[in-house]
Structure 1
Amino acid sequence: MRVELFDFDLPPDRIAERPMVPREAARLLHVTPSALIDRVVGDLPDLLRPDDLLVFNDTRVIPARLRGERGEVKVEALLHQRLANGCWSAFAKPGKRLKPGQIISFSHDLSAEVIEKRESGEIILRFNVEGAAFRDALERYGEMPLPPYIRRAQDDQDKGDYQTVFAAKDGAVAAPTAGLHFTEQLLEKLMSKGVARETVTLHVGAGTFQPVKVEETDEHKMHAETGEITPEVAERLNEARKAGRRIIACGTTALRVLESAADENRRFHAFDDETRIFITPGYRFKGIDALITNFHLPRSTLFMLVSALMGLDRMQAAYAHAIAHGYRFFSYGDASLLEPAAQ
């Protein structure tokens, strides 16, 4: 499909700079095949069924933006994906001037050697420390990696705002933003309603913000992200499906790992691997029945994903409604509940 089909005009003032307080006060557009209904996230206990199963992403955002020096040149590195032997894939500014063998100093006790430059614009860095020492250094010197469309400087408030209540496993360099709307109070209300929950892991990479630069979706090379579904969670998901319960992904990241772990018979398997799954219209969903997600960028792989779930025409109408009615977009913005026709 032509990428231009997924374009739309978004006024700059629709981009949220801060989350709503409290989190569940964010607006929620309920999208069905026949209706667009304005609600708030706090209404979810009234919108979901007592036997629904919500699946959240329990990745934790690490302070992945590092500022350092190579000689007299200032260098900013955004860590993208953990590799073996103390190495990380990263996006760097100014990346073109860096060469293999050069050392970037981030502090007196944290530095990295440029190991490789890739055609995709990424560089491979090997740090001088690993394991717990590296995690400690990141906490001391790293910054939260706010998305590029948030223009203001980050501050201490972002350390809490840009982390979900499910955050448990270090590795993400971007938040699974649909989960940002949930609080312990909202989760208690959902549990009282009978809505169950499970957690899976997808360590969100900076590639999620990379623009689609090709003209046809078939030409786009999807970034890799590491995910995990334990055997125990896979079995409980299968039991829920066998019982006829709906499996609802909270966020496109949870959806992507669920779809990566489901087979053609809609059965889940344990998963511990990279996924490059790229979902566009025509895709047959195997893992999920509905989705809670934020509003996404024009021409993005995520807008293509929601269009695959609901239909391109339906999502174009939903986004036009959201823009006209003042919904807030992107990571700190409002949310949508997408319920397609039953398969």
Structure 2
Amino acid sequence: MSEYKNIKISDYSYKLPEERIAKYPLAERDSSNLLFWKNGLIKKDEFRNITDYLPEDSLLVFNNTRVIHARLFFRKETGAKIEIFCLEPVHPNDHQLAFQQSEIVVWKCMVGNSKKWKNDALSRKIEINGKTTELRAKKTAQENNSFLIEFSWSNGFTFAEIIEKSGILPIPPYLNRESEPADEVTYQTVYAKTDGSVAAPTAGLHFTENVLDQLSKKNIDLREITLHVGAGTFQPVKSETINGHNMHQEKVIISKKFIEELLVNTKKIIAVGTTSVRSLESLYWLGIKLGKAINVSQNLEIEQWEPYENIQQLTIQQSLENILAYLEKTNQSTIQFSTQIIIVPGYRFKLINGMITNFHQPQSTLLLLIGAFLGKDWKKVYDFALNNNFRFLSYGDSNLYLK
């Protein structure tokens, strides 16, 4: 266990020049560069040709989350500007239910310029389809660096309508610019459908309808799951060793039907994005947890170091059967759980055989995940990309890693 926790984050760093960070996407999503790695072999191509590199017995798993207009701005009577960044719903604590509310919700939020906002309520007028309502925001509690904010309004609008109309789409902080109208399209995947993320699952940004059609023609199976990406995905590792880093928690939603398919799956599972990797790998550890005595009413969650502390090992089939038994017992058609899993070098992958991903920031937990899959080759891959004019981070180029 200690060998995992004592990994030095400085060993997973590289020099990323500012000019290599893609501030804007390419005009055509699938014209991005593709770096292909397989067992040490590295090749450069275009993403639109990715089908040529995927085995016919592949099963691609996409994260269908959609980025919400999470940034809300209010102005006090004094003129002070307050930003409320919605992170996740608290009452109700389900994204779908929260977006359906028509009068009041409570969200966990970050607040910009919070020192200028005492205990008074903030308000602003919003017009939707010719009708006007007043959106009010009130602090109800503080949790470390975040706040619980109660939002209330009238006229029967859903919170989904409120936030879509009045909020601003968040884009990554390292782009060093404000979001623009074009980001409304380019910072969503073409298959985004389930509201809840505050950051895009960026590996999916390269896919177009044409690429998806090519995959289908090759009889490559496509499936969807949901992980709502949190702001913690951009949280830097500030500790010398990874043991000192508190991994962020994210909500995962996977259908019973998909788990049943996994139970008899004979195909190579390729995760589209690190969010899909985390979801699928967490699913295995959830199955182990559900095989033990557990109160069915308790919140399901995978903690940060749980995979490394768990000495019980089950086959993938046994783990998935435990989840299906739980869903039968609770009469649910989807499994919903939270994951805080951190995947670091030395981790043994359970469900995935490959991944599609972007290039990640130096000294980040996502780069550790890449190091876990590629081993020492992660450095060779990133050196190749830097020497061959690849574009980096969210709007940058893509990678396909296969074993």
TM-score w.r.t. structure 2 length?
0.79
Q: Give the residue type in structure 1 aligned to 2:206.
A: H
Q: Give the residue type in structure 2 aligned to 1:146.
A: I
Per-residue Cα deviation, 1:222-260 (whole angstroms, up to 9, x for no partner) = 1111111111011112222xx2x1000000111111111
* Residue number in structure 2 paired with 1:248: 270
Distance 1:37 1:132 in 2: 51
Change (3 A) 1:126 1:143: same
* Residue number in structure 1 paired with 2:148: 124
Q: 123, 126, 129: which one pairs with 1:105?
A: 123
The answer to whether the aligner puts 1:281 opposite 2:353 as a matched pair is no
- Deviates most, 280-289 or 77-86: 77-86
Q: Give the residue type in structure 1 aligned to 2:315.
A: N
The answer to whether the aligner puts 1:315 opposite 2:337 as a matched pair is no
Is the CA contact 1:68–1:107 (under 8 Å) kept in the aligned structure 2? Answer: no
Is the CA contact 2:82–2:117 (under 8 Å) kept in the aligned structure 1? Answer: no
Q: 222, 235, 240: which one pairs with 1:215?
A: 240
* Residue number in structure 2 paired with 1:55: 61
Is the CA contact 1:81–1:225 (under 8 Å) kept in the aligned structure 2? Answer: no
C-alpha displacement of 1:132: 5.1
Per-residue Cα deviation, 1:7-61 (whole angstroms, up to 9, x for no partner) = 2110001111121222111111112232111111111111001110000001111
1:68-147 matched pairs, under 5 angstroms: 68-72=74-78, 73-85=80-92, 86-99=105-118, 101-107=119-125, 109-119=134-144, 121-129=145-153, 133-147=158-172
Change (3 A) 1:310 1:65: same
Distance 2:107 2:174 in 1: 24
C-alpha displacement of 1:89: 1.4
Q: Give the residue type in structure 1 aligned to 2:394.
A: S
Is the CA contact 2:248–2:340 (under 8 Å) kept in the aligned structure 1? Answer: yes
Per-residue Cα deviation, 1:296-342 (whole angstroms, up to 9, x for no partner) = 1111111111111111x2111111111121111111110101123xx
Distance 1:79 1:326 in 2: 36
* Residue number in structure 2 paired with 1:153: 178
Is the CA contact 1:70–1:102 (under 8 Å) kept in the aligned structure 2? Answer: no
C-alpha displacement of 1:106: 4.4
Per-residue Cα deviation, 1:264-290 (whole angstroms, up to 9, x for no partner) = 422444631111111111111112110
Is the CA contact 1:91–1:123 (under 8 Å) kept in the aligned structure 2? Answer: yes
C-alpha displacement of 1:129: 4.1
C-alpha displacement of 1:68: 1.1
Distance 1:88 1:63 in 2: 14
Per-residue Cα deviation, 1:180-233 (whole angstroms, up to 9, x for no partner) = 111111101011011111000001111111111111112211111111111101
3-state SS of the aligned residue for 1:83? strand
Q: Give the residue type in structure 1 aligned to 2:34.
A: L
3-state SS of the aligned residue for 1:326? coil
Change (3 A) 1:98 1:283: farther
Q: 177, 201, 207: which one pairs with 1:182?
A: 207
3-state SS of the aligned residue for 1:260? helix
Is the CA contact 1:310–1:339 (under 8 Å) kept in the aligned structure 2? Answer: no
Distance 1:40 1:287 in 2: 27
* Residue number in structure 1 paired with 2:292: none
Q: Give the residue type in structure 2 aligned to 1:114.
A: K
Q: 29, 42, 52: which one pairs with 2:48?
A: 42
Is the CA contact 1:178–1:251 (under 8 Å) kept in the aligned structure 2? Answer: yes
- Deviates most, 281-290 or 266-275: 266-275
Is the CA contact 1:82–1:171 (under 8 Å) kept in the aligned structure 2? Answer: no
- Deviates most, 10-19 or 29-38: 29-38
* Residue number in structure 2 paired with 1:337: 400
Distance 1:334 1:96 in 2: 39
Distance 2:157 2:195 in 1: 12
The answer to whether the aligner puts 1:262 opposite 2:280 as a matched pair is no
Change (3 A) 1:277 1:106: farther
Structure 1: runs of 5+ lacking an equivalent: none
Is the CA contact 1:7–1:299 (under 8 Å) kept in the aligned structure 2? Answer: yes
C-alpha displacement of 1:142: 0.7
